[in-house]
Amino acid sequence: MSDPVNLNGPIDAALASENAVLQVASNGMKIEGPNATPGLLEKPDGMLLSDAPKNLYRVIMLCYWSFCGGLSDGAPGALLPTIEAHYNISYSIVSLIWMFNAIGYLTIAFFAGKLDRFASKHIQLTCAVFCMTICYALVASGGPFEVIVLGFFFGGLGLAIGLSLTNVFLGRMHNSSKYLGYSSGSYGVGATVAPLIATAMIDRGIKWNYFYLIVVGLSCCNVVAIWFIFSDIDADLSAYNEKLADYDRQQEAIVCSLSFITDGSGQTKEELETKAVENMGEQDLIETVSPKIGTMSEAIRTKIVWLFSFFVLCYQGGEVSIGGWIVTFLLEYRHSNSTSTGYVASGFWGGLTLGRLFLTHPLALFFGARRGVLYTSILGVVLVVLTWVVNHVIVEAVFISLAGLVTGPIYPLMISRAADLIDPHLFSLSMVIMTAFGSSGGALFPFFTGLIGEYRGSYVVMPMVISLFGSMIIIWLVMPLARGVKLVKWWQKFV
């Protein structure tokens, strides 16, 4: 490899950045800038809470919305046996609540490319919370089972839109893994307390559907707050995207300025400096051009988007299958005590909450998002296998809680990794696809689990979860190390 070439003079303004090294790919020549140079843009490292007056309140309200979503998703696991008895229906029929939830997700995925044309992100997010409120109101009515199923369809619509926009906003924040951990942790808190409240209500003879009256009240407050706090979110996101575009144009200018260094023309240093400055001047003219905007067709053709989508499909499929069916698994397969088994679901969601709140940032700091996801996925598989093979209810409850603890950080770490690997101009649309398509796994696989369990028995829960978590590991090993970089050896993913 050639020795580093240190350039002085006017060209430094185009080359130097703090502790930066530009690698010229054509011949491996390394060009170093010793220190930051005035006038040279630094790469934006995410939005700060101080960048917009409402950013702090936005983070708080998104965590509040996630908490409500956790209340909704955590309750069915404890309420499922009661719902079956109330409507006198089987596993396969009661599983339709997840099927129609998945239809809601996929509906949003189908129209994702058109949403931004007809409504701002402010309107979309408000509609998402409103759809969730309709869902809770229909389920709280305790009407015919068809009405309950329709409610979960609206829930799928709202969750698909809300999750994608939440991930887009928090994924743009500085230390995004921390804020995504807060949001996911809030979801986990809701999913943890939901089985506790639902089980306590059932034990006291209160109708199962009254639980959702609590969520209706919380969600109505959320609609009002979201409408006012996110009123100018589109302008704030556009301002940050413009910063990213400015930085990308600057980097293109630098590469353009250096492209002639490797052509072997034998130009003098003064000629190189003059040409670099001229190239920078020409590139500055491009700064008036609008930032590159991705299209849905472009996002769909991007392989990395589908890798992340299938990863989320498997992750949330396994997560919700455990939370939704673990009580039935212990009651029907292990013949546990019906009065206390409902609390095991809270143990899983509680572990997931603690993992997201307290392990996400340390894992990102010490291992990085790539290795953090891989290691926790492997531990999750081990703990679910132990839950399956150890025939002792108390030990199983401990293992399932630990499984929640180690798998909790996976989702926020994955979103943080996606922000690094997906092109910025495609990130927003990609999140819609990933969330809507991937999150449908949290609805489809619990449905399949109930459908298969109807004929083969409730023990199928654990093999289903193991296969889903194992698929996650395989998909993660296929992911590239960095944007545009291919891995030479698969085992390098572990180090």
Mind spelling out the 3-state secondary structure of 270-311?
Answer: HHHHHHHHHHHHHHHHHHHCCCCCCCHHHHHCCHHHHHHHHH
All residues at 6 or more sequence positions from 249 whose CB lies less than 8 Å from its CB, including other chains: 283, 286, 287
Average pLDDT over residues 155-179: 83
The residue with greater pLDDT, 279 or 84, is 84
Measured distance CA(186)–CA(183) in Å, rounded: 5
Report the share of the chain in percent with pLDDT over 70.
75
Measured distance CA(99)–CA(444) in Å, rounded: 6
All residues at 6 or more sequence positions from 143 whose CB lies less than 8 Å from its CB, including other chains: none
Q: 145 in the Ramachandran plot: left (φ > 0), alpha (ψ -120 to 50) or beta? A: alpha
Average pLDDT over residues 11-37: 40
Segment holding 189, helix H or strand E? helix 176-203
Residue 21: phi, psi to the nearest 5?
Answer: -130, 125
* pLDDT at residue 190 is higher than 80: yes
Q: Which long-range contacts (CB under 8 A, 24 or more apart) does 87-96 make?
A: 87/145, 89/145, 90/454, 91/328, 91/450, 91/451, 91/453, 91/454, 91/458, 92/450, 92/451, 92/454, 93/145, 94/450, 95/446, 95/447, 95/448, 95/449, 95/450, 95/451, 96/149, 96/447
pLDDT value at residue 112: 65
Measured distance CA(314)–CA(465) in Å, rounded: 9
Topology of domain 54-236+294-494, CATH: Growth Hormone; Chain: A; (1.20.1250)
The residue with greater pLDDT, 472 or 330, is 472
Q: What is the pTM of this model?
A: 0.69
Provide the token pair at 160. Answer: 């698909």
Cα end-to-end span (Å), the chain: 25
Segment holding 21, helix H or strand E? strand 21-23
* pLDDT at residue 37 is higher than 50: no
Residue in the structure block whose two tokens are 């939440």: 166
CA 423, 468, 63: angle at the middle one, nearest 5?
A: 55
Do the beta carbons of residue 196 and residue 364 sit within 8 Å? Answer: no
pLDDT digits (tens, 9 = 90+) for 196-242: 898 888 888 889 999 999 999 999 999 999 999 888 877 777 776 67
Residue in the structure block whose two tokens are 């090294």: 21
Average pLDDT over residues 465-480: 93
- For the chain, residues classed under CATH 1.20.1250.20 are 54-236+294-494
pLDDT value at residue 76: 82
* pLDDT at residue 115 is higher than 80: no
pLDDT digits (tens, 9 = 90+) for 48-68: 777 777 888 999 999 999 999
Low-confidence winner among 80-94, 254-268, 307-321 (lowest mean pLDDT)? 254-268
Q: 206 in the Ramachandran plot: left (φ > 0), alpha (ψ -120 to 50) or beta? A: beta
pLDDT value at residue 106: 80
